[in-house]
Structure 1
Amino acid sequence: MRTTRVVTISPTHPLPEVIQEAAVILRQGGTVAFPTETVYGLGADAMNPHAVRKVFEAKGRPSDNPLIVHIADEEQLSEFAEEIPPIAKQLISKFWPGPLTLVLKAAAIVPEEVTAGLETVAVRMPDHNVALQLIRELGSGIVGPSANASGRPSPTQAQHVLDDLKGKVDMILDAGTTMIGLESTV
Structure 2
Amino acid sequence: MRADVRDAVAAVERGEAVVYPTETVYGLGADALDAEAVEGVFELKGRSRDKPLSFGVADVDTALEYTRPTEREEAFMREFLPGPVTVVVERRETVPDVLVSGKERVGVRIPDHETALELLRETGPLTATSANVSGSPSVLRVADLDDRIRDGAGAVVDGGETPGTESTVVDPGSGTVHRRGANADAIEAWLAEH
Fold shared per TM-score above 0.5: yes
**Contact 2:150/2:156 (8 A) holds in 1:** no
1:125 partner amino acid: I
In the alignment, is residue 161 of structure 1 matched against residue 140 of structure 2? no
How many corresponding residue pairs? 169
1:123 pairs with one of 99, 108, 118:
108
Give 3-state SS (helix, strand or coil) of 2:112's partner.
coil
**Contact 1:33/1:161 (8 A) holds in 2:** no
In the alignment, is residue 35 of structure 1 matched against residue 18 of structure 2? no
Once the two structures are overlaid, the 10-residue window that deviates more, 18-27 or 51-60, is: 18-27
How much does 1:182 deviate? 2.0
How far apart in 1 are the matches of 2:64 and 2:77? 13
In the alignment, is residue 182 of structure 1 matched against residue 165 of structure 2? yes
Give 3-state SS (helix, strand or coil) of 2:24's partner.
coil
Identity %: 39
How far apart in 1 are the matches of 2:23 and 2:77? 17
Q: What residue number does 2:136 align with?
A: 152
How far apart in 2 are the matches of 1:159 and 1:147? 12
Hey, which bits of structure 1, 4+ residues long, moved more than 4 A?
Answer: none
2:83 partner amino acid: G
1:133-161 deviation per Cα after TM superposition (whole angstroms, max 9, x unaligned): 000011x2110210000000011111122
Q: What residue number does 2:66 align with?
A: 80
Once the two structures are overlaid, the 10-residue window that deviates more, 15-24 or 128-137, is: 15-24
Q: TM-score, normalised by structure 1?
A: 0.86
Using CA pairs under 8 Å that are at least 6 residues apart, name the structure with larger relative contact order, 1 or 2: 1
1:170 pairs with one of 154, 157, 167:
154
1:131 partner amino acid: A
In structure 2, runs of 5+ residues without a counterpart are 170-194
**Contact 1:154/1:182 (8 A) holds in 2:** no
How much does 1:23 deviate? 0.8
Q: What residue number does 1:143 align with?
A: 127
